[in-house]
């Protein structure tokens, strides 16, 4: 018999408390475990320690922006294969293409559309499972 499957873990890197709580609520409502980080440095540290199944990365972060934090993750042996979805509050034409070209697995614009967030999480976790 297969061992009991542990719940997938999603790391949310987001400096805005309200958004962090919203992400956490949605992630937990889907039955996944939610890890939280308030900035890029903390996110990189938690990602390296926990190796989550998926990361939701706010792009507008203090100290280190989300694109820079993502580059650090891509250079980490344990973290480079983790799918990372970019979340941005200044949705401008071309954002999506630019972020996907930089290697992000998907893109979400704030204000967060809950249904779209659920779809993106479901899709990326499904893809990562196929990679196992
Ligand atoms: Mn932010």
Res 127: pLDDT: 78
- For 10-29, the pLDDT digits (tens) are 999 999 999 999 999 999 99
Three-state SS string over 75-112 comes to: HCCCCCCCCEEEEECCCCCCHHHHHHHCCCCEEEECCC
Q: Copy the structure tokens of residue 7.
A: 């719940």
Centre of ligand 1 from the C-alpha of residue 8, in Å:
24
Distance from C-alpha of 19 to C-alpha of 3, rounded to nearest angstrom = 34
Q: Copy the structure tokens of residue 14.
A: 């987001």
The percentage of the chain sitting over the pLDDT mark of 70, rounded to a whole number, equals: 92
pTM of the predicted protein model: 0.92
Centre of ligand 1 from the C-alpha of residue 110, in Å:
10
Centre of ligand 1 from the C-alpha of residue 38, in Å:
9
Centre of ligand 1 from the C-alpha of residue 78, in Å:
25
- For 50, counting Cβ atoms within 10 Å of its Cβ (0-12 exposed, 13-18 middle, 19+ buried), the class is middle
Confidence of residue 89 (pLDDT cuts 50, 70, 90): confident
- DSSP 8-state symbol, 32: -
- For 102-120, the pLDDT digits (tens) are 999 999 999 999 999 999 9
- For 52-83, the pLDDT digits (tens) are 999 999 999 999 999 999 999 999 999 999 99
* Average pLDDT across the chain, whole number: 92
């Amino acid at each position: 018999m297969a061992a009991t499957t542990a719940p997938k873990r999603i790391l949310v890197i987001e400096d805005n408390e309200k958004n962090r709580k919203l992400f956490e609520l949605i992630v937990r409502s889907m039955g996944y475990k939610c890890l939280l980080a308030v900035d890029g440095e903390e996110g990189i540290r938690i990602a390296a320690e926990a190796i989550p199944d998926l990361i939701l990365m706010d792009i507008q972060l203090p100290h280190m922006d989300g694109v820079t934090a993502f580059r650090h993750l891509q250079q980490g042996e344990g973290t480079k294969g983790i799918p990372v979805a970019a979340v941005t509050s200044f949705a401008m034409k071309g954002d999506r293409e630019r972020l996907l070209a930089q290697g992000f697995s998907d893109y979400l614009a704030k204000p967060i559309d809950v249904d779209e967030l659920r779809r993106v999480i479901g899709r990326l976790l499904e893809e990562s499972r196929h990679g196992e």
